[in-house]
Structure 1
Amino acid sequence: MESNLTGNLGSNSTECPPIDDFRNQVYSTSYSLITVLGLVGNGFALAVLIRTYRQSSPFHIYMLNLAVSDLLCVMTLPLRVLYYVNNGQWNQGDFLCRVSSYALYVNLYCSIYFMAAMSVTRFLAIVFPVQNMRLATETRAWLVCVCVWVFICLLSSPFLMSGQHTDPITNKTKCFEPPKNSGSSADRLVMLNYVSLVVGFTLPFLIILLCYAGIVRALLSRTSSARRQQGASAKAIRMIVIVLLTFLICFLPYHVQRTIHLHFLSRTDTPCSEQVTMQKSVVVTLCLAASNSCFDPLLYFFSGEGFRNRLSSLRNTMKGSRLNRIARKKPVTVSAENHQLTAG
């Protein structure tokens, strides 16, 4: 499931030239860009969310946890950049190899589940506004977040079992790559793929689609007397668009291609052109999956519950505190001047 399923498993991969140059260039460039955008976007969003925590709500709590998940992920991407800049030579030790592999998948599936939780929250607020007052509480939101973290960390734990190893042909220390010609590794990856495909992707995606269908139906059935809730409707529509785009661009291509590729590895009669195309598609779709960290700040800003208001409130608070500091300094200066005049 990792980057170099790009032809390291299965007998059909040994006869074709490797795509190492393509892989190293694409991964190092993409991960560098994702690191910068992810750190800036999610770091800024997290700072705003923490500074305005007194305005907390269930939606705010999910945004906070999503930002933390993204930051933990992008902080490990520089290790991947170093690996691919060094042409597939891992020098950071076995522990960091396991952690960086693990972090990517924890972020991937935590993002999916936090998006599902945010969708359910918005669904309750629009379709069942009265019940939402009782069901959507901050305590329950934190409980959901804790459950998501524990569940995804346990679900992704098999990635902690795959550490660094030495390639017997090149004598390089490898990470993010299964050992070559390992049948047990291939079977294990197929099993992990289907578990994560069903539990980590399909189930929450169906929940999201059902929530959005309910939201759209509720919005279409509203009469002119419900215009006062137009702001909530606009936020819901923006959230639907951003989340669906994230799934269509980041999550869906990766999961579909990963499943196809794992079955492709068992074939022995495919021409080199097909093998190279399949291997390159692994690289591209994994980069797209990692880029979800760059899309989440858009979700905060355009559909977050009062996120822009929080930003304005924070700006006003900082401006007010600066003015107060200036105002406190002025009387001291005037008092000093008066003292000098009196002494004169």
Structure 2
Amino acid sequence: LIKTFRQRSTFHIYMMNLAISDLLCCLTLPLRVVYYVNKGHWYFGDFLCRISSYALYVNLYCSIFFMMAMSCTRFIAIVFPVQNLKLVSEKKAKIICACIWIFICATSSPFLMSGTKEVGNKTKCFEPPSGTDTRKLVILNYFSLVVGFSIPFLVILICYTGMIWTLMVNSGSMKKQKSMQTKAIRMICIVMAAFLISFMPYHIQRTLHLHFLMKKGSSCDDIVYMQKSVVITLCLAAGNSCFDPM
């Protein structure tokens, strides 16, 4: 991306925004690592706690939306190559990227309300609320589950399925052409698998965790186990940055 910075194409614009989103997401992770290494003790103040939580979710869901936009661009280029010149342009790509940033930043703003809290002699951060605040977080979770994960996944799935179908139907007789199409189909399957492995476990586990917190009579050991599982699946979600160049 650095070498091709001066190049201008729709796909390049999405890739640049995706790279920025991934970089900002990764910059928030060291604070979380320090927090969990110190057994859940936050040393960086209330402001950084709020910003760290907010920035992580903004960049996590921006990454998902940019991947969705890129899959749509690929779909149009492969399935509708003639209409591609009219449907896709650099100006439209920039407008879509701006809309994605604004939409995700606005819908993620409730995470700015989640700051530090004192539990015993420890300052906590990234911990789920209790009482009525838990119900609000459950609503926010379902919104992000549907809008931030399920819909983008369905769009990506439809786009890549259409691409695979088109490549298979238009498969030529030349050996070299068939080899290129096979590689393209294999890469599409890898991208879909990476997306699912990265984001699905986190969204499922986070949903289960929140419903578990609302359940009365849960033991401390069970709660700790659920919290640790969410942290592990969050690592998988953050690890998707390694596969984004595909």
Q: TM-score, normalised by structure 1?
A: 0.65
1:163 corresponding residue in structure 2: 115
Amino acid at match of 1:112: I
The residue number in structure 1 matching 2:140 is 192
User: CA–CA distance in 1 between the matches of 2:179 and 2:8?
Assistant: 19
Shift of the alpha carbon at 1:291? Answer: 1.6
Q: Which runs of 5+ in 2 are unaligned?
A: none
Between the aligned residues of both structures, percent identity stands at: 65
- The CA distance in 2 between the partners of 1:269 and 1:84, in whole Å, is 26
Instruction: Give how far 1:236 is off.
Output: 4.5
The equivalent of 1:153 in structure 2 is 105
Partner of 2:7: 55
Q: Which has the higher contact order (CA 8 A, sep 6+)?
A: 1
* Rounded Cα–Cα distance in structure 2 between residues aligned with 1:277 and 1:287: 16
Instruction: Choose 205-214 or 242-251, whichever is displaced more.
Output: 242-251
Equivalent residue for 2:152?
204
Assess if the C-alpha contact under 8 Å between 2:64 and 2:149 holds in 1. yes
Aligned to 1:320: none
**What is the CA–CA distance in structure 1 between the aligned matches of 2:64 and 2:8, rounded to whole Å?**
22
Task: Work out the CA distance in 2 between the residues paired with 1:228 and 1:130.
Answer: 24
Structure 1 unaligned regions, length at least 5: 1-48, 300-344
Question: 2:204 is matched with which residue?
Answer: 256
Cα gap change, 1:173/1:223 in structure 2, threshold over 3 Å: closer, same or farther?
closer
Which deviates further from its counterpart, 285-294 or 259-268? 259-268
Contact kept in structure 2, 1:90 and 1:173, CA below 8 Å: yes
Contact 2:134/2:214, CA 8 A, preserved across alignment: no
Cα deviation, residue 162, structure 1: 0.8
Partner SS for 1:166: strand
- Measure, in 2, the Cα distance between the counterparts of 1:80 and 1:263: 23
Q: Give the number of equivalent residue pairs.
A: 246
Check the 8 A contact 1:115/1:243 in 2, yes or no: no
Is the partner of 1:291 in helix, strand or coil?
A: helix
Deviation at 1:110, TM superposition (A): 0.8
- In the alignment, which residue of structure 2 is the partner of 1:92? 44
- Alpha-carbon offset, residue 261 of structure 1: 2.1
User: Is the 8 Å Cα contact of residues 250 and 291 (structure 1) preserved in structure 2?
Assistant: yes
Q: Residues 103 and 281 of structure 1: is their aligned pair in 2 closer, same or farther, counting only changes over 3 Å?
A: same
Instruction: Name the counterpart of 1:246.
Output: 194
Equivalence for 1:289: 237
- Rounded to whole Å, the distance in 1 between the matches of 2:151 and 2:116 is 32
Q: Aligned with 1:265: secondary structure?
A: helix
Aligned CA-pair RMSD: 2.4
Aligned to 1:42: none
Distance in 2 between the 1:264 and 1:183 partners? 13
Structure 1 residues 241, 259: CA separation in 2 closer, same or farther (over 3 Å shift)? same
Contact 2:171–2:177, Cα closer than 8 Å, also in 1: no
Distance 1:178 1:260 in 2: 13
TM-score normalised by length of structure 2: 0.89
Query: Does the CA-based 8 Å contact 1:90-1:174 persist in structure 2?
Result: yes
Task: Report deviation, 1:154.
Answer: 0.9
Give the deviation of 1:75 after TM superposition: 1.3
Q: Distance in 2 between matches of 1:231 and 1:154?
A: 45
